[in-house]
Structure 1
Amino acid sequence: MSKDRRAPHVSSDHPVSGVAGRYATALFELADAEGALDAVAGDLERISAMLNESSDLVRLVRSPIFSAEDQTKAFGAVLEKAGISGLVKNFIGLVIRNRRLFGLSDMIGAYTTLLARKRGEMTADVVSAHPLQAAQVESLKAALKSATGRDVRINTKVDASLLGGLIVTVGSRMVDSSLRTKLNSLKIAMKEAS
């Protein structure tokens, strides 16, 4: 009897399907077998943070102009500098050889979803105008846990164009309390009134 190798579908967070889901599932199963789920998650979080901070790295990941050899050399140097080795380094190498590096962010998201599901957690993506302080993140976690009934892991991102407030996305639900959205709504209401 063959084991079903398709990536499971997760209704919340990032969908775990398609190419990214298959790669993430394979990495997850290997990490689980080696007892390295948290170590792999930490390495992937560091890679994700580097992608968020470097437009050059994003260009390397997404551009088809770079050969697999160029991507291997460049990403290898990045991983070495970040102290990432072992399973994640091998995984990135495989992704590059298979010319799937463009899907790395989705693979990381799918891995995070699989890990959260195993732990019984949900993931919330929070975009704020300014970096959130630790106390604010904890308060938000508590509020989201109260609303969802599950532990919530928060991924934060800063977008200064929001001006103030937050955009919180949990699964397919989004709450936009940003000042930018409120001002745009007011602008539309004023145009309709005149």
Structure 2
Amino acid sequence: MALAGRIRSALPLLTKALRTYPLPAQRSALALSNSQFSRSYATPTGKKEEKVKTPLALFGGSGNYASALYLAAVKSSALDKVEEELLALVEAIKKSTTFAQFTKDPSVPADIRLKAIQQICEEAKFSEVTKGFLAVLAANGRLRYVDSIAKKFTDLTMAHKGEVKAVVITVIPLPAEEEKELRETLQEVIGRGKTVKIEQKIDPSILGGLVVEFGQKVFDMSIRTRARQMERFLREPVNFGNL
């Protein structure tokens, strides 16, 4: 069964867990911190630990969690698998109202939250890294941030692979040939050693043309922006003395 299917089949377990009478949360058993998660995947004593660093410096709570997960995944040689599992979980949350409410509801007792996420992980056959990480999020009441953590984790995996994301915003999907030409143009800009990955987004409000968000730059070639520029130009007073 595909990963997404395994997650869907596990959702009834979530409903069952939420119906369980909420027992008092045992903080001594559940108070797992971000640093404890990282230490749980440290190299066993007696073995020389390979120095692992994140390819990007991320900040904030989601950035710290994503960085800790990245380090654990790299040390366990499970980076691709962990990324697949995390993204599949995020997609399942988006498609299930019950699951989404569960992750965002702070009133769910910590022990129920932890038990439910552990059952889902077991049913979905997640890796030990992903299971441990999600247990930390559940225990610390941070499951509601899993989407933003996943996005930052993807930024790390892309940097690890030498990939650069370009977000292309258009009114309709780019034809394959135009997407190919755009990718080749952006590839020339970044040069060798890195690979461009294009993410297309549809936004009818730009009216036409396209907007490209690439690295720290934004190339706005939309009809909406051109119309605004023309409007500003027409509103400027005319100096007849210069005519």
Query: So what's the TM-score if we normalise by structure 1?
Result: 0.69
1:130 is matched with 172
The separation in 2 between residues aligned to 1:101 and 1:22, in whole angstroms, is 14
1:172 is matched with 216
The alignment yields a C-alpha RMSD, in angstroms, of: 3.9
Matched, 1:147 2:189: yes
Structure 2 residue runs of 5 or longer lacking an equivalent are 1-48, 239-243
Match of 2:236, SS state, is helix
- Aligned in 2, Cα 1:133/1:96: closer, same or farther, shift over 3 Å? farther
Query: So what's the TM-score if we normalise by structure 2?
Result: 0.57
**Contact 2:170/2:201 (CA < 8 Å) preserved in 1?**
yes
- Aligned in 2, Cα 1:9/1:39: closer, same or farther, shift over 3 Å? closer
- Aligned in 2, Cα 1:74/1:26: closer, same or farther, shift over 3 Å? same
Q: How many residues align?
A: 184
- Aligned in 2, Cα 1:160/1:67: closer, same or farther, shift over 3 Å? farther
The separation in 2 between residues aligned to 1:189 and 1:26, in whole angstroms, is 51
Match of 2:150, SS state, is helix
Report the identity percentage.
Answer: 27
36-45 vs 119-128, which moves further:
36-45
- Aligned in 2, Cα 1:142/1:189: closer, same or farther, shift over 3 Å? same
Give the drift of 1:138.
3.1
**Out of 150, 156, 172, which is 1:114 matched to?**
156
The separation in 2 between residues aligned to 1:67 and 1:113, in whole angstroms, is 30
**Contact 1:43/1:84 (CA < 8 Å) preserved in 2?**
no
The separation in 1 between residues aligned to 2:177 and 2:116, in whole angstroms, is 38
The separation in 1 between residues aligned to 2:226 and 2:119, in whole angstroms, is 44
2:205 is matched with 161
Give the drift of 1:106.
2.8
What amino acid sits opposite 1:95 in the alignment? L
What amino acid sits opposite 2:209 in the alignment? G
What amino acid sits opposite 1:85 in the alignment? F
- Aligned in 2, Cα 1:32/1:74: closer, same or farther, shift over 3 Å? same
The separation in 1 between residues aligned to 2:99 and 2:203, in whole angstroms, is 18
Could you list the per-position Cα deviations for residues 65-105 of structure 1 after superposition, in whole angstroms to 9, with x for gaps in the alignment?
Answer: 66366877998899899x68334455344323322234333
Match of 1:152, SS state, is strand
- Aligned in 2, Cα 1:126/1:90: closer, same or farther, shift over 3 Å? farther
Structure 1 residue runs of 5 or longer lacking an equivalent are none
The separation in 2 between residues aligned to 1:155 and 1:120, in whole angstroms, is 16
**Contact 2:104/2:143 (CA < 8 Å) preserved in 1?**
no
Matched, 1:184 2:228: yes
**Contact 1:61/1:104 (CA < 8 Å) preserved in 2?**
no
What amino acid sits opposite 1:19 in the alignment? G
